[in-house]
Structure 1
Amino acid sequence: MSNLQEIESAVSQLTKEELAAFRVWFAEFDAEIWDRQFEEDVAAGRLDGLAKQAL
């Protein structure tokens, strides 16, 4: 069984309360990863072209 399948199985067994807590945790986790990637892209100049177009 793959890690993803194990995670899916574990999540499917959560209670409503646990699932709600997991959703909150995952949303925060996902947002942190997205923010970090965005900051890296800005620092590397990957968004410079878009910024120039917006101005």
Structure 2
Amino acid sequence: TRREREVLSCLGEGMSNADIAARLDMAEATVKTHVSRLLGKLELRSRVQAAVLAQELGI
């Protein structure tokens, strides 16, 4: 989703869940949900892998 792409972009910047929540104006629990869904959809094991992927893709 668009929101998941925004969260992925923030992960690529190395932001914490709290930082992402503040930037995107959402609850930290919602950020955690988006991160979990991203990891599942992209078949990744960690947010570090997601951050690396985001940087590789230029997101």
TM-score range, shorter chain: 0.3 to 0.5
Structure having greater relative contact order (Cα 8 Å, sep ≥ 6): 2
Instruction: State the TM-score, normalizing by the size of structure 2.
Output: 0.35
Q: Which has the higher helix share?
A: 1
Instruction: State the TM-score, normalizing by the size of structure 1.
Output: 0.37
